[in-house]
Amino acid sequence: MSEENSQIPGATCTWEPPAPKPEILKPARLSVVEDKPSTPSEFRDLAEFEPAELVPLPSGKKVSLRKPRPLYFVRVRKGLPQSVAARVQAAPSSEPTDEELITLAKFWVRVWKDIFVNPRIWTPATDPLGRPAGPEEPGEDEIDPQWVRPEDAEFIMRWAVGEVASDGSDLAAFRDREAGASVGTVRPGADVSGDTAQRISA
């Protein structure tokens, strides 16, 4: 039977593909950002420190530091004996006593721990009785302050109080000076001996 004869007279047959099922769109997953007030420490950091910057040192090493603002020194100098506080940001006029040396060294350890961003400063942790209470060596991103060379230590402390620039423009003049144990900027972990050394590390 031919195709022509197989058609029924008066009938039409048209084929249409089935309509596609409507796509069900899933709602996009929204990332919820937790909105909460800033902490008091964030406000204090903003008030007390400049943004961190890479600072070249006399030895050729580089460290990421955040420069303290004047408000920081106002806070951390509280409680220091007047004779010691005067040595922090002023040229010393006399040799420090043993007690002043100890207090200055501990003061600068505290400052270094606050201003070093990368690497961070490590100091041995102790319990209230003075017994070791933490790692006995620095971590991968930490340094012992005694690893810092004397000229670098003095440069960092003079940078912190605004006596030298961050861009390295003062490095040449600084290298020409005799880098030593300036009593106003006695470095953390300074090379002292005997009972004084033990009291600084305490």
**pLDDT, average across residues 93-122:** 84
**pLDDT, average across residues 19-43:** 71
The SS3 assignment for 110 reads helix
Q: Is the pLDDT of residue 193 over 50?
A: no
**pLDDT, average across residues 50-69:** 92
**pLDDT, average across residues 155-176:** 77
For residue 183 the two structure tokens come to 């009593």
Domain membership of residue 24 (yes or no) is no
Amino acid identity at 55 = V
Q: Is the pLDDT of residue 120 over 90?
A: yes
**pLDDT, average across residues 36-64:** 90
Q: Is the pLDDT of residue 61 over 50?
A: yes
Q: Is the pLDDT of residue 122 over 70?
A: yes
| Domain hosting residue 136, numbered range | 40-201
**pLDDT, average across residues 107-134:** 85
Domain membership of residue 9 (yes or no) is no
Q: Which among 81, 58, 19, 11 has a CA at the least distance from the CA of 157?
A: 58
Domain membership of residue 165 (yes or no) is yes
Angle between helices 150-160 and 98-115 (to 10 degrees): 70
Domain membership of residue 6 (yes or no) is no
Domain membership of residue 23 (yes or no) is no
Domain membership of residue 5 (yes or no) is no
- Beta-bridge partners for 56: 62
Amino acid identity at 146 = Q
Instruction: Please state, in angstroms and rounded to a whole number, the distance separating the CA atoms of residues 91 and 78.
Output: 19
Domain membership of residue 12 (yes or no) is no
Q: What is the pLDDT of residue 201?
A: 39
Q: Is the pLDDT of residue 81 over 50?
A: yes
Q: Return the number of other C-beta atoms located less than 10 Å from residue 22's C-beta.
A: 6
Say how many domains are in the chain.
1
- Beta-bridge partners for 118: 64
Q: How many Cα atoms within 13 Å fall on the side-chain side of residue 182? A: 22
Enter the pTM of the model: 0.64
**pLDDT, average across residues 134-161:** 88
Q: Return the number of other C-beta atoms located less than 10 Å from residue 46's C-beta.
A: 12
Domain membership of residue 28 (yes or no) is no
**pLDDT, average across residues 3-16:** 57
Angle between helices 194-201 and 98-115 (to 10 degrees): 30
**pLDDT, average across residues 159-186:** 64
